[in-house]
């Protein structure tokens, strides 16, 4: 193998990827083969990254948006000697990815799953599998870098200026989220963001011409991006020049279009799927290795000098950069705050101004408006809480109103309020990127439009990061806008997502407790689901404390002796259940009201507490929620009654709609009495 050391290293990346995919009989070797020179040039000569401390806060981020090419990233993590970091942010003197892990690619419990998974493999900056998610998330990382730089940098002590690189393929740029996110990044002038587009004209079905003919360069120029082109992925000098041009660019994100060709050993082979979508096969592996000047029968070969070359370049450079950064941090007045952010801790007194709300049975208060009061009380004391909306800032009540709460925009990157525009998918993925960079973001829209952000919501849960998804206009109580805007199935579908706690508070004081739950999270997202319409602020001297929200569900109102009926409700229907409870009490019927704002938290309580709230005795259970009935069976049992939605809603004043569908205290009381018979 008479190759210079850099070419030898590039071919090591390629052959490790080929061998891992071949052994697993599963995976995609094509992109690792074609893009190995690009990743090598970036990591070795440009990326500000210390393999010995892969959670160094000011490291450049590398996101493999084309997650099917995971072996490219795993090979880089292994060869660069990236260390393993545990859940307490302790860096261990062992590799994040060992050669053994590469040999166990796509096998049970290995650190090399089929697509890169955040938390699972140190050095993976974000989970990427669904195409487009990586580049979209990278926008949030770039936002976080700009925000942290504005807050913490001082002349001669620049603590945050990290760049974000994301490697994407044709599939990433076809996905709709790429359009939303690229448009947002261009508008915000995120000149610390660089997308690398692997322009190889191949997807799983074959040539991209089957379904894709975009003029990508013109498209991104229209977004306000700096567009560069590298005509050959193997040309290190052109790649280097492009990376330097990106770093010199001001006021525009950069797209580097890299022309590459997925190749194989046999000149007659025409089946693109074998190179892109499945292993090459033994014969093609030998031919390909021969073309690389590699021993044809070698398996997982790492030639002498390759690992040392990575230590010499990225290893030494990264160690020097991190040491210099740590020296700056030690002399910074912001060191304690930065440490707090990195550990997802909260400042002392963060909750001192959270309001309590006086009882108001008549006028009431929309839970979205109560939420805004609590949000501002917290955000003023947690400076890294960033609030945004998909063009519904005031309608969803997420506007920050305290002094200094400016908009995040070009020229004001320290702003706390982000306007995402009508880009729900980009909003949630940007928040994922911010959370991965240790900000505390929230985004908002109407509950029915949560569907537009669903892939990003799912990934926040999969990565177990504490994003706050805030949804308002949460039921048919929305009224005149009609069934397109009235959510029915969204609550059930959100509750189906693992690691996502869906909290639908019943009044203003439950809102305050819900916010405590949300902001104290160090992992796992929450979905706050809030009303547009006013709901009564319950008299807590008469009914139980809203602190019961902390356990997911609690007995709000009770009777003397054992209840005959248990009325279980969430959100705006809690006050309806209380009204029915009072009506039933006047008729001598013993009932209990259980407020159940968060199923997931309640289900995590011990059995004794759950039995205390919902005793397993003979009482008839009635669930009340202006949404799909799916899932309520677990609480009411086969003999219980569920008052919910079985159709979509209608357009009318919300009081008329609620009565039309049976959601008034007297109607609920009548159905409860029927259930007793």
Q: Which two tokens stand for residue 246?
A: 């990106």
Residues listed for the chain: 677
C-alpha 117/C-alpha 120 separation (Å) is 5
Question: Catalytic residue among 41, 375, 424, 625, which?
Answer: 424
Cβ atoms 139, 429 nearer than 8 A: yes
Give the chain's largest Cα–Cα span: 94
Cβ burial of 133 (10 Å; 0-12, 13-18, 19+) is buried
C-alpha 407/C-alpha 431 separation (Å) is 16
Helix, strand or coil for residue 193?
Answer: strand
C-alpha 121/C-alpha 104 separation (Å) is 13
Residue partners of 545: CB distance under 8 A and separation at least 6: none
The rounded Cα 71 to chain-centroid distance in angstroms is: 23
| Beta-bridge mates of residue 471 | 445, 529
Four-point Cα dihedral 608, 520, 89, 348, nearest 10: -120
Chain position carrying tokens 């393999």: 51
**364-399 burial code (b ≥16 CB/10 A, e <16):** bbbbbbbbbbbbbbbbbbbbbbbbbbbebbebbbbe
Within 499-626, residue ranges assigned H as helices are 508-519, 573-586, 599-603, 607-613
3-state helix/strand/coil string of 22-47:
HHHCCCCCHHHHHHHHHHHHHHHHCC
3-state helix/strand/coil string of 617-673:
CCCEEEEEEEEECCCCHHHHCCCCEEEEECCCCCCCCHHHHHHHCCCCHHHHHHHHH
Rounded alpha-carbon distances, angstroms, from residue 16 to 10, 76, 536: 10, 10, 64
Cβ atoms 408, 449 nearer than 8 A: no
407: left (phi over 0), alpha (psi -120 to 50) or beta: beta
C-alpha 589/C-alpha 581 separation (Å) is 9
Phi and psi for 103 in degrees, rounded to 5? -65, -20
Among 462, 439, 349, which Cα is nearest to 145's? 439
Residue partners of 241: CB distance under 8 A and separation at least 6: none
C-alpha 37/C-alpha 4 separation (Å) is 14
Q: Tell whether the torsion through CA atoms of 598, 444, 55 and 110 is positive or negative.
A: positive
Q: Which two tokens stand for residue 659?
A: 């009565």
Q: How are beta strands 534-537 and 360-366 bridged, if at all? A: antiparallel
**Eight-class DSSP state of 419:** E
C-alpha 178/C-alpha 137 separation (Å) is 10
Rounded alpha-carbon distances, angstroms, from residue 268 to 284, 287, 497, 565: 11, 12, 47, 76
Concerning whether 424 is annotated as a catalytic residue, the answer is yes
Which residues have a catalytic role annotated? 424
């Amino acid at each position: 193998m008479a190759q210079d050391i850099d070419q030898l290293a590039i071919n090591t990346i390629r052959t490790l990827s080929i061998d891992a995919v071949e052994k697993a009989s599963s995976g995609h070797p094509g992109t690792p083969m074609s893009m190995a020179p690009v990743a090598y040039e970036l990591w070795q000569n440009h990326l500000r990254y210390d393999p010995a401390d892969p959670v160094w806060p000011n490291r450049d981020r590398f996101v493999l948006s084309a997650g099917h090419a995971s072996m490219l990233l795993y090979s880089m993590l292994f060869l660069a000697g990236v260390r393993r970091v545990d859940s307490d942010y302790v860096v261990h003197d062992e590799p994040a990815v060992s050669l053994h892990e590469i040999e166990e690619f796509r096998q049970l419990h290995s650190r090399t799953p089929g697509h890169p998974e955040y938390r699972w493999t140190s050095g993976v900056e974000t989970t990427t599998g669904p195409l487009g998610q990586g580049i979209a998330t990278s926008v949030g990382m770039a936002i976080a870098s700009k925000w942290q730089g504005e807050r913490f940098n001082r002349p001669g002590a620049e603590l945050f200026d990290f760049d974000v690189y994301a490697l994407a393929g044709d599939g990433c740029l076809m996905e709709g989220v790429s359009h939303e996110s690229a448009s947002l990044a261009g508008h915000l002038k995120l000149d610390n963001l660089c997308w690398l587009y692997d322009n190889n004209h191949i997807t799983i079905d074959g040539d991209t011409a089957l379904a894709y003919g975009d003029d990508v360069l013109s498209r991104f120029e229209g977004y306000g991006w700096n567009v560069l082109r590298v005509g050959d992925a193997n040309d290190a000098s052109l790649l280097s020049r492009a990376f330097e041009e990106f770093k010199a660019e001001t006021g525009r994100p950069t797209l580097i279009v890299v022309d590459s060709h997925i190749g194989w050993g046999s000149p007659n082979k025409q089946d693109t799927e074998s190179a892109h979508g499945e292993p090459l096969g033994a014969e093609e592996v030998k031919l390909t290795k021969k073309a690389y000047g590699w021993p044809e029968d070698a398996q997982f070969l790492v030639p002498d000098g390759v690992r040392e070359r990575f230590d010499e370049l990225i290893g030494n450079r990264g160690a020097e950069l991190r040491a210099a950064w740590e020296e700056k941090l030690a002399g910074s007045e912001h060191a304690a705050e930065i440490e707090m952010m990195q550990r997802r801790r909260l400042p002392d007194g963060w909750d001192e101004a959270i309001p309590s709300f006086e009882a108001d049975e008549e006028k009431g208060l929309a839970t979205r408006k109560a939420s805004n009061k609590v949000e501002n009380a917290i955000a003023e004391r947690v400076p890294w809480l960033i609030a945004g909306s998909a063009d519904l800032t005031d309608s969803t009540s997420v506007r920050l109103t305290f002094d200094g709460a400016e908009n995040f925009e070009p020229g004001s990157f320290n702003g706390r309020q982000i306007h995402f525009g009508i880009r729900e998918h980009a909003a949630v993925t940007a928040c994922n990127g911010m959370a991965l960079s240790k900000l505390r973001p929230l985004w908002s829209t109407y509950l029915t439009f949560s569907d537009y952000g669903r892939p990003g919501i799912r990934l926040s849960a999969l990565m177990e990061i504490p994003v706050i998804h805030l949804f308002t206009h949460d039921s048919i109580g929305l009224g005149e806008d009609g069934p397109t805007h009235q959510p029915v199935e969204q609550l059930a579908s959100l509750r189906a997502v693992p690691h996502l706690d869906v909290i639908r508070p019943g009044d203003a004081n439950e809102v305050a407790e819900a916010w405590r739950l949300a902001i104290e999270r160090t992992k796992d997202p929450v979905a706050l689901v809030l009303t547009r319409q006013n709901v009564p602020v319950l008299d807590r001297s008469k009914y139980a404390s809203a602190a019961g929200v902390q356990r997911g569900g609690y007995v709000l109102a009770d009777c003397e002796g054992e209840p005959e009926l248990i009325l279980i409700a969430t959100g705006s229907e809690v006050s309806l259940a209380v009204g029915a409870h009072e009506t039933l009490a006047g008729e001598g019927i013993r009932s209990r009201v259980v407020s159940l704002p968060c199923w997931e938290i309640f289900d995590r309580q011990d059995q004794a507490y759950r039995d205390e709230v919902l005793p397993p005795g003979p009482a008839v259970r009635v669930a009340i929620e202006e949404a799909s009935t799916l899932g309520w069976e677990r609480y009411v049992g086969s003999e219980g009654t569920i008052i919910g939605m079985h159709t979509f809603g209608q357009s009318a004043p919300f009081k008329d709609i609620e009565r039309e569908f049976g959601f008034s205290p007297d109607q609920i009381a009548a159905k409860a009495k029927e259930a007793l018979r």
